[in-house]
Amino acid sequence: MIASAAPADITYTEGDTTLKLKTGKIQDAQIGDTLNTGDTLKTGSDGQAELDQKGVTIKISRGTVFTLMERELAGKTSSVLSVALGSIKYKYDKVSGSEPFIRTNGAVAGVRGTEFTVFSGADGSTLIAVDSGQVDVESEGKTVQLAAAQGVEVPLGQPPGDPIPLKSDQIDYSKWNGDKLASMLADPIGSMTTIQSVMEEYVKNETDYYNQYQASQAQLEQALQTHNQILRDKGVDEAKKYQEDVFLPLTVQTSHLVLNYRYYSLVALSLRRFVAGRMYVTLKARYIANQDAPEWKDFVAKYDNLMSTFEQSIVPRLVDADI
């Protein structure tokens, strides 16, 4: 039913809805537009949208940032639906075996033929409510299984809580998000410490995949030379065999590694932009007339530390169009 990283067509828009293409171009989102991998749909305070991804309906609520991503898992490319902020409702008709993953700033959910809603909070926390089917929610190495009429909250940097009875139409997202924002701003140092910890986890994953990519790329270059040597010494048939047995699998492996280090780079960018960055702007305004306040200075020191990590490890993997 859903091919990995399948495009999604916009079937409904209302209010302020913007499409940012992976090329960096920003345009108003319109019915008939298509989201491809790397594209982001953003809704304003009065915006809503609906997407169709090969029979799957995705409803995008107000104040939401939604991106189509992809990554490699177990040797194949998998679609990842990223909710950096706001809330999305998904409805799948039936289990197909190729459902995408759902990603927020702090959790990953695997779904099986289901209807559920994902809420991504200002502080990086996640709330998932399942209306039908089953959803596995993973964070910090722990997985929680949710059945119909169950939900779970995942604080940023922590494993999922226990499943609770919950239906998506019972949730006041605005209040939930407001409470999360207030908690985050009440303890900016603690919040930044958590963000730093999660960022370091993303950096570690990105670095691992990048190092593997470099090794694979070196093997690929060597394999190309070997292929050309075989072509010269043993002819087309032998070269073709080498290409199928060695060169092409290495090409696929290398491209998968690119997918994965780019995936973690973009996830880190999302955390930096939609959690840490928004926190900075809010506190900047609060302390603009009192920049000598110790709490502001302490926050800026933590923020600068996070930016240093991000600049050193993630920025080299980004391109202008990502910004």
Partner 1 sequence: MRKLLLAAAACAAAMALASCASLQHSWDQGNVETVAKLINGGQSARLAAMSTTPFLVDGEIVLLKTDVAGFWDGIIKAGYKVEGPVLQSGEPVSPDGYKRFADTMEVRAFFVQYVKKDNRILELKTSAGGKILLIMRDSWFSKTIQGFKGPY
Identify the residue among 233, 236, 289, 294 touching partner 1 (CB under 8 A): 289
At 268 the three-state DSSP class reads: helix
Identify the residue among 162, 169, 245, 320 touching partner 1 (CB under 8 A): 320
CB of 217 to partner 1, least distance (A): 23
CB of 255 to partner 1, least distance (A): 24
Query: Between residues 116 and 310, which has the closer beta carbon with respect to partner 1?
Result: 310
Consecutive H or E run containing 306: helix 294-313
Spatial contact of 90 and 66, defined as CB atoms under 8 Å apart: no
Tokens of 111: 């779904």
Identify the residue among 59, 91, 240, 278 touching partner 1 (CB under 8 A): 278
Consecutive H or E run containing 286: helix 278-286
Backbone angles phi, psi at 29, to 5 degrees: -80, 135
Identify which of 104, 255, 102, 262 has the alpha carbon closest to the alpha carbon of residue 177. 104
Query: Between residues 186 and 236, which has the closer beta carbon with respect to partner 1?
Result: 186
Query: Between residues 186 and 285, which has the closer beta carbon with respect to partner 1?
Result: 285
CB of 141 to partner 1, least distance (A): 31
Contact between 186 and partner 1 per CB under 8 A: no
Query: Between residues 112 and 273, which has the closer beta carbon with respect to partner 1?
Result: 273
Half-sphere exposure of 268 (CA within 13 A, CB side): 29
At 220 the three-state DSSP class reads: helix
Write each residue from 291 to 310 as x if it is in contact with partner 1 (CB under 8 A), else as -, in one continuous string. Answer: x---------------x---
Spatial contact of 247 and 302, defined as CB atoms under 8 Å apart: no
Spatial contact of 129 and 61, defined as CB atoms under 8 Å apart: no
Region from 102-110, 221-229, 232-240, 285-293 binding partner 1, contact rule CB under 8 A:
285-293
Region from 28-36, 191-199, 240-248, 283-291 binding partner 1, contact rule CB under 8 A:
283-291
CB of 11 to partner 1, least distance (A): 23
Length of the chain (residues) = 323
- Find the binding residues for partner 1 in span 6-25 (CB under 8 A): 16, 24
Number of residues in contact with partner 1 under rule CB under 8 A: 31
C-alpha distances (whole Å) from 95 to each of 25, 75, 150, 276 are: 35, 21, 19, 36
Write each residue from 24 to 53 as x if it is in contact with partner 1 (CB under 8 A), else as -, in one continuous string. Answer: x-x---------------x-xx--------
Query: Between residues 45 and 225, which has the closer beta carbon with respect to partner 1?
Result: 45
Contact between 285 and partner 1 per CB under 8 A: yes
What's the CA gap between 161 and 279, in Å, rounded?
24
Query: Between residues 256 and 317, which has the closer beta carbon with respect to partner 1?
Result: 317
Contact between 159 and partner 1 per CB under 8 A: no
Maximum distance among all Cα pairs of the chain, rounded to whole angstroms: 76
> Dihedral of CA 20/26/31/37: which sign?
negative
What's the CA gap between 218 and 230, in Å, rounded?
18
What are the start-end ranges of the H helices in 187-277? 188-234, 236-242, 248-271
Report the interface residues with partner 1, using CB under 8 A.
Answer: 16, 24, 26, 42, 44-45, 63, 65, 85, 273, 277-278, 280-282, 284-291, 307, 311, 315, 318, 320-323
